[in-house]
Structure 1
Amino acid sequence: MVNVFSVPIFFIVFRETLEASIIVSVLLSLVEQIVHEDTSRAVSLITDEKREDGRPPELAVGEPGSPEVSPPELLSEQDALLAKKRLIKKMRIQIFAGSGLGLFIALAIGAAFIAVWFTKASDLWAKSEELWEGIFSLVAAVIIFIMGVTMLKMDRAKAKWRVKLQRAFEGKHVGAGANAGRWVLFVLPLITVLREGMEAVVFVGGVSLGQSARSIPLAAVVGLICGVVCGFLIYAFASRTTITIFLVVMTNLILLIGAGLFSKAIGDFQENAFNDLLGADVDDTGGDGPGSYDVRGNVWHIDCCNPENNFDGDGWNIFNAIFGWTNSASIGTVLGYVFYWVAAVAVLIYLKFVEGRTKLLGRESAAGVRRRQRAALQHDSEGGSVDKE
């Protein structure tokens, strides 16, 4: 199964697609909020749309003939509702068009990169397979580590992008190439999806170099579909608490894969050194018995459940891809797996300390001091209001 479906690539594409989907969902919800809740701004946008179509506002069907009428009175209730629906549809088309173009460009670049690697660099792979597998597994483990840690912050993406988009509609600068204007709903999703897509290309490129070429397309497509579906479900139904639980579970799965890849990288380096010592591959048939592994520093070895067995290893290949399972473990691979998790825990504690959500050895970060001061001010203000009552 792992020859046609790469689990690490699935999770990488899923993660990047999910983040892009959340940002696009913020755009869609903000469009409805602006059009329905902010009457003056909605009427202004509707009027601008009519000017773009070449129709003066005062001659629109159902509108008074005088251009001097105040905006809330400019449209009758029924015409205003139809105009709002038409405007929402137009804005949604811009959002989906920008997202689609960004996705197409990212997929084209990613496909070209992977095609060039597997057609031009295959000879390098054949010369030292274990060494290259170890290098690319190590790169993939580091990439997945970074992705897993940052994924926990994704539940705050909605608030961050809502502020950026509101600033864009108010005419303020929000970032590179994303100025306010009539194309803001096209440019913002284009830049956002393209950026997430390029991140996915870099990450998938780093991981795919240690994978079979046949394992990439299906994993990428399934990851893309699952990311879009989960993004839609989060947009439509989920509360922030639900999103947080979901992201914690996904982070644990991603870090499990990363720990397995890190352990596998150490095992590949050790296997390459063992092969160099003997001058040839120890066992080209992929067997389990004596001579197929290095007994020096070996922690356990069982004559079954071998993911590299050419006859019955398909089921264990799945556990190897997801959890890094191997039937032959060394001190290095076991310690690598443990230290990977120790590093993940240490980084998460440090990030929590930097954000001011915990103390470290009795010390408090600058963000923690600010949070405590804000809480004290809020408590004092609430106490003062109660005393006045």
Structure 2
Amino acid sequence: MLASFLIMLREGIEAALITGIIASYLKQTGRTQWMPAVWLGILLAVALSLFAGAALQILSAEFPQKQQELFEAIVGLVAVCVLVSMVFWMRKAARSMKSEFQHSIEAVFASADAANATPLSATWALIGMVFFAVAREGLESVFFLLAIFQQSTGPAAPLGALAGLLCAVVIGYLIYVGGVRLNLRRFFRWTGAFILIVAAGILASSVRSLHEAGLWNGLQTQAYDTSGILPASGPLGTLLAGLFNYQDTPTIGEVLVYVVFLVVSLYLFLRPHGTAGHGGASAAARGSRS
């Protein structure tokens, strides 16, 4: 539950920052009459994400056992790629997010003015900009939530995702109106590290699914057995399995993939990258509250 909660909280806040920057700039430039276009873009992006998630879930239920394992492995691998690209993209994008979106908004209206286009053309252009920005976050969420749901049973993971999204909506609104001053650089740094740990577990699970699908048979010797000390079926083991894909009898291949991925990704993510990134992240935070 905690993994899905934190991931959706982060994704939701990212989407809230994007829409907050756009809404704030429209307000600052006296274009509040265009806000319905922003809301329409958000609603279309949410609808697309829900449709994609439902379609993938229904599709996976129709597969035979081995194809089901292959599907789970593919979803897991896609989720890992999405998670890694998300945390590293946000690490860099925070530097120039505000200026890029403001430039895009001005480009929309400048193009419409230059072509003597109708307001409807500018409206659809603004809807498209918001739609693609928010849909990116929504489709990312679909893949890694599917990967987490495949590893969890019961309603805990979906409820955690819903709670994280609702909290993100509230925090995003409070940031927009200026009621909350969130240290976004620290928030994205530590949630990014946590997400990489989750991604390592999903990757190890994908290796296991590939083996069960009959496509990967290497390094299948059992690495260790902690079932007598910390069984995966026990309360703590279940919690660790939901958070980090804990297994009490993993194979050498699963452990190797988990450790190598985690060491490399955390090193690249946590290493210092200069004061420019810090200043840019702060600028993005200030822009989201303006």
- 8 Å contact from structure 1 (residues 259, 340) kept in 2: yes
Query: Out of 67, 81, 94, which is 1:142 matched to?
Result: 81
Task: Tell whether the 8 Å contact from 1:131 to 1:269 is kept in structure 2 after alignment.
Answer: yes
2:34 match = 94
Hey, what does 2:98 align to over in structure 1? Answer: 158
Q: 1:118 to 1:244 in 2, by over 3 A?
A: closer
Counterpart pick for 2:128 among 182, 191, 197: 191
Measured after TM superposition, the shift of residue 248 of structure 1 is 0.8
Alignment partners' CA distance in 2, 1:180 and 1:29 = 25
Contact 2:240–2:246, Cα closer than 8 Å, also in 1: yes
Distance in 2, matches of 1:180 and 1:304, equals 70
Of Structure 1 and Structure 2, the greater helix share is in 2
**8 Å Cα contact 2:37-2:124 kept in structure 1:** yes
Q: Deviations over 1:256-297 (max 9, x none)?
A: 2111211222234445669x9xxxxxxxxxxxxxxxxx9824
2:143 to 180, 200, 206: 206
Match of 2:3 among 7, 30, 34: 7
The runs of at least 4 consecutive aligned structure 1 residues that moved more than 6 Å come to: none
1:333 and 1:225 map into 2 onto residues whose CA distance is 34
Does the CA contact (< 8 Å) of 2:11 and 2:141 recur in 1? no
Task: Quickly say closer, same or farther: Cα 1:102–1:218, change in 2 above 3 A.
Answer: farther
The residue aligned with 1:221 is 162
Determine whether 1:106 maps to 2:45.
yes
2:191 aligned partner, one-letter code: M
Is 1:172 aligned to 2:110, yes or no?
yes
Give the equivalent residue in structure 1 for 2:284: none
User: 2:256 corresponds to which residue?
Assistant: 335
Identify the residue that residue 250 of structure 1 maps to in structure 2. Answer: 191
Q: CA offset at residue 31 of structure 1?
A: 4.0
CA contact (8 A) 1:20 1:193 kept: no
Partner Cα distance (1:261, 1:133) in 2: 10
For residues 327-382 of structure 1, what are the alpha-carbon distances to aligned partners after superposition, in whole Å with 9 as ceiling and x for unaligned?
223322222122112332465489949x998xxxxxxxxxxxxxxxxxxxxxxxxx
Q: Distance in 2 between matches of 1:180 and 1:245?
A: 43
Q: 1:132 to 1:187 in 2, by over 3 A?
A: closer
Using the aligned pairs only, state the percent identity: 22
Equivalent position SS for 2:224: strand
The Cα of 1:141 is off from its aligned counterpart by 1.6
Separation in 2, partners of 1:189, 1:322: 38
Aligned-residue Cα RMSD (Å) equals 4.2
Cα distance, 1:251 vs structure 2 = 1.0
- Residue identity in the other structure for 1:250: T
Matches within 5 A, 1:65-80: none
Among residues 234, 242, 254, which one is paired with 1:321 in the alignment?
Answer: 242
- Residue 322 of structure 1 and its aligned partner are, at CA, apart by 2.0
The secondary structure found in structure 2 opposite 1:301 is coil
Q: Secondary structure at the match of 1:325?
A: coil
Structure 2 distance, partners of 1:322, 1:98, is 38
**Does the CA-based 8 Å contact 1:298-1:330 persist in structure 2?**
yes
**Structure whose CA Rg is larger:** 1
How many Å apart are 1:191 and its aligned residue?
Answer: 2.5
Distance 1:11 1:272, change over 3 A: same
8 Å Cα contact 2:193-2:269 kept in structure 1: no
Read off the aligned partner of 2:188 and give its amino acid letter: L
The reply to whether residue 22 of structure 1 matches residue 33 of structure 2 is: no
Residues 246 and 200 of structure 1: is their aligned pair in 2 closer, same or farther, counting only changes over 3 Å? closer
Structure-1 residue corresponding to 2:221: 296
Partner Cα distance (1:253, 1:302) in 2: 25
Q: In structure 1, how many angstroms separate the alpha carbons of the residues matched to 2:226 and 2:21?
A: 51
**1:109 aligned partner, one-letter code:** L
TM-score by length of 1: 0.55
Letter of the aligned partner of 1:33 in structure 2? Q
TM-score, normalised by the number of residues in structure 2: 0.70
CA contact (8 A) 1:98 1:188 kept: no
CA distance in 2, matches of 1:346, 1:92: 44
- The verdict on how the C-alpha distance between 1:191 and 1:230 changes in structure 2, with shifts beyond 3 A counting, is farther
Distance 1:209 1:163, change over 3 A: closer
- Aligned length, in residue pairs: 267
Q: 1:267 aligns with which of 188, 202, 208?
A: 208
Q: 1:20 to 1:120 in 2, by over 3 A?
A: closer
Q: Which residue of 2 aligns with 1:34?
A: 29
Deviation at 1:223, TM superposition (A): 3.6
The 3 A distance-change label for structure 1 pair 103 and 27 is: closer
> Aligned partner of 1:160: which letter?
E
| Separation in 1, partners of 2:117, 2:21 | 16
